[in-house]
Amino acid sequence: MSGVLFGATLFFYFLATFHYILFLISQRESIGKVCQLATIVGFALNTMFLIYGMVSQGHVPMTNIRESLIFFSWSIVLIYLILEYKWKIRVMGAFIITIAFVLILLSTLFPPGHAPLPEYFSSGWLGIHTTLAFLADASFAIAFAIGLMYIIQERQLKRKSPGAFYRRLPPLDVLDELSYRAIIMGFPLLTLAMLTGAIWADSAWGSYWGWEPKEIWSLITWLVYAVYLHARLITGWRGRKAAYLAVTGFLVVIFTFLGVSLLMPGEHAFR
């Protein structure tokens, strides 16, 4: 059952990605409706996969890299659907849903991993801490995608003859505001994830902070986005500088999630 749900999720996310790219090129409303439908169906299947995993395993399915990539993808699609419902800017899906599809496709490279879990994984903090962390990372993924859109749109505006996507992407001020809103949503979630992680660590290992690689890089990620918010709110950074910082921040997120997890051993390593 798990394999069927996963395969169906992967297919519908691919279908959504393909049609979002077509929509970006053609701007046809009929294609846009297919994008939305495929995304909603894919998200529903993704949700069913996670629920099935939770019921069958007895814990939130986020204890290995394959499960985590799938949950990461689910988190991105969840926030995207909320954004599309509120802002009605469907063209964002060509960038955001593509990220979600790439992540879930990447998960196929890793084994399911059913090794016995340490006792502390039975703690309720597992679901709380990891869910907050992935929702934060998903928000930063949204900001990354919108930052890329901003950079592309700005470069087109600087040309004497704007490129093909000039009239298909939202105005710069809208993109700037959306990226900021995604980060302002993700930053408190990341803060809460780090606080709940510290509480969980204390109950599991007797220490709130152990200077592990994942903890250090999570702190670096937090500082990057703290700098972004300080620069925007205090010094007035907007536009291109903010977009580049949003892109850089997500690269740090990816390294913290994948690079540190795969290359640096520790208690936070995937099982």
Q: What is the pLDDT of residues 2-43, one digit of tens each?
A: 789 999 999 999 999 999 999 998 888 899 899 999 999 999
Quote the CA–CA distance of 215 and 220 in Å, as a whole number. Answer: 9
- Give the predicted TM-score (pTM) of the model: 0.92
Q: What is the structure's pLDDT at 160?
A: 64
User: What is the rounded distance in angstroms from the CA atom of residue 199 to the CA atom of residue 125?
Assistant: 8
pLDDT at residue 61, rounded to an integer: 78
The crossing angle, in degrees rounded to 10, of helices 125-158 and 65-87 is 60
Instruction: Give the model confidence (pLDDT) of 152-185 as tens digits.
Output: 998 888 776 666 676 788 999 999 999 999 999 9
Question: Who's near 72: CB < 8 A, 6+ residues apart?
Answer: 103, 134, 137, 138, 141, 257
Helix (H, G, I), strand (E, B) or coil at 36: helix
pLDDT mean over 251-268: 80
Which pLDDT score is estimated for 161?
A: 63
Residues 86/149, Cβ–Cβ less than 8 Å? no
Summarised one tens digit per residue, pLDDT across range 226-243 is: 999 999 998 888 889 999
pLDDT value at residue 118: 63
Q: Do residues 137 and 253 make contact, with C-beta atoms less than 8 angstroms apart? A: yes
Task: List the domain boundaries for the chain.
Answer: 120-271
pLDDT tens per residue across span 53-87: 888 877 677 878 899 999 999 999 999 999 999 88
8 A C-beta contact, residue 64 and residue 271: yes
pLDDT band at 110; cut points 50, 70, 90:
confident
Residue 261: pLDDT band by 50, 70, 90 thresholds?
confident
